[in-house]
Amino acid sequence: MDVVFLSPGYPPEMRQYTRGLAEVGARVWGVGDGSLADLGPTARYLSGYLQVPRIMDEDDVIERVSAWLRGRHIDRVLTNWEPLVVLAARMRERWDVPGMRVDTVRGFRDKKLMKDRVAAAGLRVPGAERARSVAGVWAAAERLGFPLVVKPIAGAGSADTYRVGGRQELEAALRRLGHVEEVSVEQYIEGDEFTFDTICIGGRPVFENVAAYLPKPLVARTHEWISPVVITVREMYQPRLLPGIELGRRVLGALGMQDGFTHMEWFLTPSGEAVFGEIGCRPGGACLVDQMNYTIDGDLFREWARAVCWHAFETSTERRYNVAIVFKRALGQGRIRRIEGMEEIRRRHGAWIVEERLLPIGSPRRNWKQTLLSDGYVILRHPEWSEAHRMAFEVAADVTMHASA
């Protein structure tokens, strides 16, 4: 099994998928714009590596990789990084390799096309229009009405995404979106927000997950003082969440999913209706796969590889824990100078903490607008939802990171 894996070293979690591919017996041919030395220990999982000048230059990458692989049979072309899913599909078409083609993948990448296809299957989606100009955004706003969400048509991770409640807020959002070529203008849905994550084989989920966003990502990305919390739900097949799970399964069919990870976001309205948000044919970021691993005590990096290479899935899917991740944002600017409250959290809940990755003292503070990981995170788990929820919000409230010049 010879696999071309795009960008095996970036984002950093791609190194885990590279490992997974090698561990299920694939020969992994990596392609990226970083150096082989930058991969560090991950390089040992590769059978070969091609460094390209610009991984986002699709035409150039296809020509370079085609020349590099000339005479070698390739069985799969894979990536788990959102910006490269169309490139991977183009390579599959170029070399007639099994897997989803460009038209299918665009349904997971283009938010307006995505919603059109989901709506055509009779599923509930917010009203949405695409716009390539300021005038186009205003025209869409007039037709859809406020409140609205304005986001990049091919974005990810809530970046450059704004809730606008009226004309003044839309004017402010448009000033910030000048660098974005095309946006989706969508109706804002009131309600709680969840994920529906899967690993699929032939479009059928062999693993499913639901996680709760606390608060919604759009709110968390708007207010710097918030410590965002995400919790995987151990008892995910409870009546309250079943409408979202059923919606997610039907979305997979509507969009023609085949093999691999999917990450969907959906809304549960106060009336109990499940409303589609968006979906990608790749895993969720910001350590969500790590959370799912802690939920089942498994290795989904490896099981994803087994699914896409061999159409098999071997780990248990028994859900043992609710797993919470708490992202922390430092107060002030400059370097991290002190961290308060973490020792007490360890004393109270140390048995349930599985990872503690706060930036060490002296580290430069990160730009919270540009990274979901903020200035680090704490992951904890518990079999009972109420306990996992309580502990997570104690971390959110009682741990404070301070930065200064």
Same domain, residue pair 202 and 148: no
Mean pLDDT throughout 89-94?
98
Q: What is the pLDDT of residues 146-178, one digit of tens each?
A: 899 998 877 665 668 888 888 888 988 888 887
Buried b (16+ CB within 10 A) or exposed e, 281-292: bbbbbbbbbbbb
Residue whose token pair is 């969508």: 186
Select from 66, 52, 64, 61 the least CA-distant residue to 94: 66
Same domain, 169 and 221: no
3-state secondary structure at position 270: coil
Q: Is residue 252 part of a domain?
A: yes
In a domain, 122, yes or no: no
Tokens of 159: 């970046």
373/396 same-domain check: yes
**199 and 222 assigned to the same domain:** yes
Range of the domain at 42: 2-99
Whether the CB-CB separation of 222 and 368 falls below 8 Å is answered with: no
Rounded to the nearest integer, the mean pLDDT of the chain is: 95
Strand ranges in 271-356 using DSSP code E only, listed in sequence order: 274-280, 322-327, 335-340, 353-356
> Once rounded to an integer, what is the mean pLDDT over residues 98-113?
96
Mean of pLDDT values over 227-234: 98
Length of the chain: 405
Residue 116 pLDDT exceeds 70: yes
CA distance 31 to 81: 13
| pLDDT tens for each residue of 4-21 | 999 999 999 999 999 999
- Residue 303 inside a domain? The answer is yes
How many CA atoms within 13 Å lie on the side-chain side of 14? 25
Same domain flag for 154 and 251: no
The predicted pLDDT at position 158 comes to 60
pLDDT value at residue 157: 55
Q: Of 323, 155, 331, nearest to 227 (Cα)?
A: 331
- Tally the domains of the chain: 4
Residues 300 and 330 in one domain: no
CATH code at 175? 3.30.1490.20
Q: Are residues 205 and 294 in the same domain?
A: yes
pLDDT tens profile 323-362 = 999 999 999 999 999 999 999 999 999 999 999 999 999 9
Q: Single out the residue in 187, 221, 238 at which a domain terminates.
A: 187
Domain boundary (320, 338, 364) is at 320
**Which of 302, 320, 338 is the last residue in one of the domains?**
320
Separation in Å, CA 42 to CA 15, 79, 249: 6, 16, 34
H/E stretch holding 103 reads helix 102-109
Could you tell me if 307 and 342 lie in one domain?
Answer: no
CATH of the domain at 77: 3.40.50.20
Its pTM stands at 0.92
